[in-house]
Chain A
Amino acid sequence: MAERRFDPTRLPGFATVAVAVFVLLYLPIATLVAYSFNGGDSVAVWGGFSLDWYGRAWANETVKAAALRSVVIAACASALATTLATLAAVGVVRNRRMKGRAVVYMAINQPLMVPEIVTAVALLIFFASVRQFTGYQGLGYLIAAHAAFCVPFAYLPISARLEGMDATLEAAAADLYATPRQAFRHVTLPLLTPGIIAGAMLAFVISLDDVVITEFVKSAGQDTLPTYMLAQMRRGVSPEVNAISTMLLMVTVVLLTAFFIINKQTNRGKQ
């Protein structure tokens, strides 16, 4: 054959580009992590390895308060979103002929489709009125806003788990005179737990990382770590922000690795 065949596994140019892409993906993050260990005061020159910036970030009361606030909001919002997503998934997934199923599905996934900046200003407007009306100034607004955009992320692994589950087990429980509540408590819920944990972890990470909606919903003195970092970036790079980023990065990587391990075991359990 005169012409060479197109072999999908052997495209030399493709492999080169792909490897370059992987390098380009990780180089900036690696640089950021490296700079967070920079001992010098200058942001340009390498002044030797040091944990100085971590110490300064740790000693900074504003940073500590922001970190605590981030965790509190993420914990509350992910707990709320996961609980409500679980209920919704249990209600919707098994009832294939449910009237208005598409509407529920659209509503749950709506936060994924609307640009964050639009939701952010919408919440700014809405909560401004609620603030004026009720006088309440607490973290409730941020928790409600975070919980809402976390719902689709919590819903996804839970509904996937439910769809993969054997519906006959619940039928067997019913045959053995379990009430729907008992069947849920003793059969469905234990089987669903890995999905719920995975959903809660995703929701937690999503909440922890949020910038835009938090930036618009928070009132004065309610900075989370990401909005604190965003404000710092207005003054250009700072090694302190690099140190905070690195710590936040670690949390994300640990949670995601745990998520993948749980998911893998869950899938293995299915086979």
Chain B
Amino acid sequence: MSAGQGQANRTSWSLAAPALALLLIGSIGPLLIVLVYSFMTPGDYSGVQRPFTTQAWEQVFLTRDIFDDTLGWADAHMTIFWRSVKLSVLTAVITFLLGLPTAWFIATRPPDRRALWLFLITIPFWTNLLIRTIAINEIIRNEGLLNQVLLKLGVIGAPLQILYTDTAVLIGMAYVYLPMMVLPMYAAIDRFDTRLLEAAYDLFANRWQALWHVVLPVIRPGILAGSILVFVPSLGAYVTPRVLGGGKNMMIGNFIELQFGQGQNWPLGAALAVLLLIAVGLALTVYVRVLGGAGRADG
């Protein structure tokens, strides 16, 4: 390496240093403290104390019977993990089913009108997530628009209790994360060269073969990116399940909060937070791997 490059590197690092320092204080450093806290003992009122122990991590999965001291699966925790994963996967599936036609539609508009359709997707994307959640609440609550319309039409005799159920959380998450699915899929479809289809037909492909072997490989990175952009925030969702799920239908994000509030078990909360972080990390790793694999297959 030349002396000039060494000097340039020092300049680069010193210019980046203030931003890195801010991120160290406001994000990265505290995350490391969480890891440490997950190996400590709950404090008498709140916080943590020594000794260091793996107790919190055991508690995440196992529960000790108060009578005969045997270990069993922590069923309540498993229910919450399962609900989080299930709702996140379903959110990704629903947003995909609705998002693919939408992305396709936008990408195939005439260029002069495409920007407007895109803008219409972008506005909800940038609108406060809490406001969008409150807006869904307006629709599905017992006196809300949906129930009023269904009652008027005589489809139902009494208002449907949707609010404060898993369905409400699912509807809410699908609503708030839909733009995250549409935007990357649009970007992928937009890159698709329609002449490839003509080539496929010239080579005697039928419609499904063309769709499967020509269209899908090209838009697959967009589908993957959209799925991960929906799945990851769904898994860590806090606001939507809190507002639409009520107190009972917790997801892991709300369960973490509980440990720092009423639960007064900071180590368990910290361990759950690390677990969530690991889950998200795994999802992102799988994504990068699959994308890398797809890239090689295309190349």
- Binding between chains A and B: yes
Known contacts A25-B178, A108-B23: does B30 contact A123 (CB below 8 Å)?
yes
Which residues does chain B contribute within 8 Å of A9, judged by CB atoms?
108, 194
B286 in the interface, Cβ–Cβ < 8 Å? Answer: no
Whole-angstrom CA separation of A117 from B242 in the bound complex = 12
B66-74, B128-136, B291-299 - the one binding chain A: B128-136
Contact among A43, A108, A125 with B270 in the assembled complex (CB-CB below 8 Å) = A125
A48-56, A59-67, A99-107, A165-173 - the one binding chain B: A99-107
Question: A32 to B134, Cβ gap below 8 A?
Answer: yes
Known contacts A5-B201, A14-B105, A118-B34: does B239 contact A212 (CB below 8 Å)?
yes
Question: A5 to B207, Cβ gap below 8 A?
Answer: yes
Which residues does chain B contribute within 8 Å of A8, judged by CB atoms?
104, 108, 192, 194, 197, 215
Contact among B19, B260, B284 with A151 in the assembled complex (CB-CB below 8 Å) = B19
A119 in the interface, Cβ–Cβ < 8 Å? Answer: yes
Question: B207 to A6, Cβ gap below 8 A?
Answer: yes
Which residues does chain B contribute within 8 Å of A84, judged by CB atoms?
18-19, 22
Lowest 9 A-B CB distances belong to which pairs?
A148-B26, A91-B15, A115-B236, A18-B105, A44-B143, A122-B30, A28-B135, A126-B30, A17-B101
Residues 113-125 of B, flagged 1 when their CB comes within 8 A of A and 0 if not, give 0000101111110
Question: B273 to A21, Cβ gap below 8 A?
Answer: no
Question: B27 to A6, Cβ gap below 8 A?
Answer: no
Question: A256 to B123, Cβ gap below 8 A?
Answer: yes
Question: A237 to B137, Cβ gap below 8 A?
Answer: yes
Known contacts A25-B124, A31-B145, A237-B134: does B15 contact A113 (CB below 8 Å)?
no
A262 in the interface, Cβ–Cβ < 8 Å? Answer: no
Residues of B within 8 A of A (CB): 5, 8-9, 11-16, 18-20, 22-23, 25-31, 33-34, 37, 47, 98-102, 104-106, 108, 117, 119-124, 126-132, 134-139, 141, 143, 145, 148, 175, 178-179, 192, 194, 197, 201, 206-207, 210-211, 215, 232-233, 235-236, 238-239, 242-243, 253, 256-257, 260, 266, 269-270, 273-274, 276-277, 280, 284
Question: B136 to A107, Cβ gap below 8 A?
Answer: no
Question: B129 to A211, Cβ gap below 8 A?
Answer: yes
CB distance from A13 to the nearest CB of B (A): 7
Residues of A within 8 A of B (CB): 3-6, 8-9, 11, 13-19, 21-22, 24-29, 31-32, 35, 43-44, 80-81, 84-85, 87-88, 90-92, 95, 97-101, 104, 107-108, 110-111, 113-126, 128, 144-145, 147-149, 151, 155, 205, 208-209, 211-212, 216, 226, 229-230, 233, 236-237, 241-242, 245, 248-249, 252-253, 256, 260
Whole-angstrom CA separation of A151 from B289 in the bound complex = 27
Question: B101 to A113, Cβ gap below 8 A?
Answer: no
Question: Quick one: closest B residue to A19, CB to CB?
Answer: B105
Whole-angstrom CA separation of A117 from B269 in the bound complex = 11
A-B contact pairs, 21 of them (CB 8 A): A6-B201, A9-B108, A15-B105, A21-B178, A25-B120, A25-B121, A28-B138, A29-B127, A29-B132, A84-B19, A87-B15, A92-B15, A100-B13, A115-B235, A118-B273, A128-B47, A145-B26, A148-B23, A151-B19, A229-B134, A242-B134
Which residues does chain A contribute within 8 Å of B139, judged by CB atoms?
27-28, 31
Question: B134 to A151, Cβ gap below 8 A?
Answer: no
Question: B22 to A144, Cβ gap below 8 A?
Answer: yes
The tally of CB-CB contacts under 8 A between chains A and B is 266
Question: A18 to B101, Cβ gap below 8 A?
Answer: yes
Known: A91-B16, A119-B27, A230-B130. 8 other contacts (CB 8 A): A17-B102, A29-B124, A98-B9, A100-B9, A115-B235, A125-B266, A148-B22, A211-B130
Which residues does chain B contribute within 8 Å of A31, judged by CB atoms?
135, 138-139, 145
Whole-angstrom CA separation of A18 from B100 in the bound complex = 9
Output the residue of B28, B105, B122, B134 with the most chain A CB within 10 A.
B134
Whole-angstrom CA separation of A245 from B119 in the bound complex = 21
Question: A147 to B145, Cβ gap below 8 A?
Answer: no
Which residues does chain B contribute within 8 Å of A13, judged by CB atoms?
101
Question: B131 to A249, Cβ gap below 8 A?
Answer: yes
Question: A148 to B27, Cβ gap below 8 A?
Answer: yes
Question: A229 to B260, Cβ gap below 8 A?
Answer: no
Contact among B123, B197, B284 with A113 in the assembled complex (CB-CB below 8 Å) = B284
Question: B236 to A122, Cβ gap below 8 A?
Answer: no
Question: Quick one: closest A residue to B179, CB to CB?
Answer: A25
Question: B135 to A95, Cβ gap below 8 A?
Answer: no
Whole-angstrom CA separation of A8 from B295 in the bound complex = 24
Which residues does chain A contribute within 8 Å of B143, judged by CB atoms?
43-44
Which residues does chain A contribute within 8 Å of B9, judged by CB atoms?
95, 98-100
Question: Quick one: closest A residue to B14, CB to CB?
Answer: A91
Which residues does chain B contribute within 8 Å of A245, judged by CB atoms?
128, 131, 134-135
Whole-angstrom CA separation of A248 from B129 in the bound complex = 12
CB distance from A235 to the nearest CB of B (A): 12
Question: A230 to B253, Cβ gap below 8 A?
Answer: no
Which residues does chain B contribute within 8 Å of A97, judged by CB atoms?
5, 8
